[in-house]
Amino acid sequence: MKSKKWGQTKRLIFRKMNFDDFEEISKMLAQQSVKEVWGKKFTNKDVKKWIENCMGSYTNLGEGFYIMQNRKNNDVAGQISLSQDTIEGEIFYEIGYILNEKYLSQGYATEAAKHMSEIAFEFINTDKVIFEIQPTNIKSINVAKRLGAKETGSFFKNVNGKKLEHKIYTLTNKCKKCR
């Protein structure tokens, strides 16, 4: 992979998360929309562990959730990851994200997910990426569809001790010469 792996888009800069982000991450993980998807309220201890896990993932795996920072005002707009996941024995690259509610419904999730899919196709050289989305998360389903992803299956994922259905939306690299 190239060194400027996470880069930027027209409105966002992608950077590694650190403990200076604790307050913003804590607010983000306390949002009702996050509680609904993750099935829990994140405590300060959970947030600290979240950041530690992300920082450890950068070191150990070269992946994890990255901060999506607004280029105009430096606000934390959200966090996004491009990471490997194994579903029923098959390895995929998955794009996942959490947006600050202030940035919902303004195209930030689509812009960031498009950027991550381009990284996957151009630098990782994979031919597809997936989105794992709970069926009730209509906004994320719409983001995946806007990018051209198609529903290709479903599975049950353990989320904080609960088995929750997730639909798999697959985005395929249509540019063969890009690989």
Residue 88: which residues within 8 A CB-CB, separation 6 or more? 155
Q: What local confidence, expressed as pLDDT, does residue 5 receive?
A: 46
Q: Are 88 and 68 in contact (CB under 8 A)?
A: no
Find the mean pLDDT for residues 90-107: 94
CATH number at residue 22: 3.40.630.30
Q: What local confidence, expressed as pLDDT, does residue 134 receive?
A: 93
Does 5 reside within a domain?
no
Does 132 reside within a domain?
yes
Does 30 reside within a domain?
yes
Find the mean pLDDT for residues 146-154: 96
pTM of the model: 0.88
**Measured between alpha carbons, how far is 113 from 133 in angstroms, rounded to an integer?**
13
Does 75 reside within a domain?
yes
Does 122 reside within a domain?
yes
In the chain, the number of structural domains is 1
Residue 79: which residues within 8 A CB-CB, separation 6 or more? 17, 25, 28, 65, 66, 67, 68, 97, 98
pLDDT in tens, 31-65: 988 888 888 889 999 999 999 988 888 876 677 88
**Measured between alpha carbons, how far is 80 from 7 in angstroms, rounded to an integer?**
12
Q: How confident is the model at residue 175 (pLDDT cuts 50, 70, 90)?
A: low
Does 126 reside within a domain?
yes
Does 170 reside within a domain?
yes
Mean pLDDT (the chain) is 89
Supply the range of the domain harboring residue 68. Answer: 12-178
**Measured between alpha carbons, how far is 79 from 179 in angstroms, rounded to an integer?**
27
Find the mean pLDDT for residues 104-119: 95
Q: What local confidence, expressed as pLDDT, does residue 3 receive?
A: 31
pLDDT in tens, 112-136: 999 999 989 988 889 999 999 999 9
Residue 49: which residues within 8 A CB-CB, separation 6 or more? none
